[in-house]
């Protein structure tokens, strides 16, 4: 039998579990505040079987095959320091088990700092319909802050965001191989793996070149997805 792999970060919901917000990262840029959760469904685990945290991710049911080849899971493994694992795990626990506390603390942060833009889930997903409703409510009460995210929770956003959506909450739907008809015309963010030739005529995210390499252009510089309009389509080269 192989050697048992130790869990690197163990977290539980308790008095020390708090929301963690960062002032941007290498992809979003400073000034775009990020509140990240764990990607995937199961606890974050490396290819060699090393389990990095005891907390399951927030993407359950979004993709047919949630595997280690997912770019979000790969990125979290790459950046899996103890501090990052603690932050992502805390956020995930609160998002799934105590969304009211999650949004109370996020609101406190917005009130304390000069926040103009917030990206939900640079990695991870909307974990519940209740959480999505909190997202909408917070945007309504803070019209001076621009909120945005990417999601495959198509059924929930159709139910919650069909009408009376605040203009400062942008829901970009994640499209891959025409997996969603998008009847309500949410802005689309389309993964371009080279198999759909018509995507050559769609504006592409400038953060990734056609060879799948990061260019260094950040969301804070581009801002296309942050202020995406109804029906807007943006593609991103496979990376």
pLDDT single digits (tens) 223-234:
999 999 999 999
> 234 and 204 in contact (C-beta within 8 Å)?
yes
What are 104-113's pLDDT values in tens digits? 999 999 999 9
Is 94 within a domain?
yes
Q: How much is the average pLDDT of 57-78?
A: 79
Q: What are phi and psi of 141, to 5 degrees?
A: -85, -10
Q: What are phi and psi of 60, to 5 degrees?
A: -50, 125
Is 20 within a domain?
no
Strand partners, 146: 117
Could you tell me whether strands 43-45 and 51-56 are parallel, antiparallel, or unpaired per DSSP bridges? antiparallel
Q: How much is the average pLDDT of 18-45?
A: 92
Cα 118 from Cα 138, distance rounded (Å): 11
In three-state form (DSSP H/G/I as H, E/B as E, the rest C), the secondary structure along the chain is CCCCCCCCECCCCCCCCCCCCECCCCCCCCCEEEECCCCCCCEEECCCCCEEEEEECCCCCCCCCCCCCCHHHHHHHHCCCHHHHHHHHHHHHHHHHCHHHHHHHHHHHHHHCCCCEEEECCCCCCCCHHHHHHHHHHHHHCCCCEEEEEECCHHHHHHHCCCCCCCCEEEEEEECCCCCCCCCCCCEEEEECCCCHHHHHCCECCCECCCCCECCCCHHHHCCCCCCCCCCEEEEECC
Which tokens go with 194? 């080279």
pTM above 0.75, yes or no: yes
Cα 106 from Cα 173, distance rounded (Å): 23
Half-sphere exposure of residue 68: CA atoms within 13 angstroms, side-chain side:
11
Q: What is the pLDDT of residue 74?
A: 86
pLDDT band at 63 (very low <50, low <70, confident <90, very high): confident
pLDDT band at 171 (very low <50, low <70, confident <90, very high): very high
Is 23 within a domain?
no
Is 44 within a domain?
yes
Looking at every residue in the chain, the average pLDDT score rounds to 92
Domain that holds residue 217: 32-237
Is 5 within a domain?
no
- Give the number of domains in the chain: 1
What are 172-215's pLDDT values in tens digits? 999 989 999 999 999 999 999 999 999 999 999 999 999 999 99
Sheet hosting strand 169-175, strand order edge to edge: 32-35, 117-120, 146-151, 169-175, 188-192, 233-237
Judging by beta carbons within 10 Å of its beta carbon (0-12, 13-18, 19+), is residue 227 exposed, middle or buried? Answer: middle
């Amino acid at each position: 039998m192989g050697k048992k792999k130790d869990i690197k970060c163990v977290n539980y919901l308790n008095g020390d579990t708090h929301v963690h917000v960062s002032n941007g990262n290498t992809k979003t840029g400073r000034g775009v505040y990020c509140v990240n959760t764990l990607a995937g469904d199961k606890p974050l685990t490396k290819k060699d079987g090393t389990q990095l945290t005891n907390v399951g991710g927030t993407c359950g049911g979004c993709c047919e095959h949630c595997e280690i080849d997912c770019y979000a899971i790969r990125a979290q493994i790459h950046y899996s320091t103890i501090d990052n694992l603690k932050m992502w795990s805390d956020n995930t626990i609160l998002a799934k088990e105590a969304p009211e506390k999650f949004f109370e603390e996020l609101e406190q942060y917005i009130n304390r700092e000069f926040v103009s833009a917030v990206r939900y889930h640079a990695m991870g997903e909307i974990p519940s319909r209740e959480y999505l409703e909190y997202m909408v409510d917070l945007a309504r009460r803070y019209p001076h802050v621009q909120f945005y995210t990417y999601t495959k929770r198509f059924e929930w956003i159709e139910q919650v965001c069909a009408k009376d959506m605040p203009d400062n909450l942008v829901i970009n739907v994640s499209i891959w191989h025409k997996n969603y008809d998008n009847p309500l015309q949410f802005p689309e963010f389309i993964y371009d793996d080279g198999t759909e030739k018509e995507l050559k005529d769609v504006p592409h995210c400038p953060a990734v070149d056609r060879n799948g390499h990061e260019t260094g252009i950040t969301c804070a510089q581009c801002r296309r997805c942050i202020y995406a309009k109804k029906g807007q389509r943006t593609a991103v080269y496979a990376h």
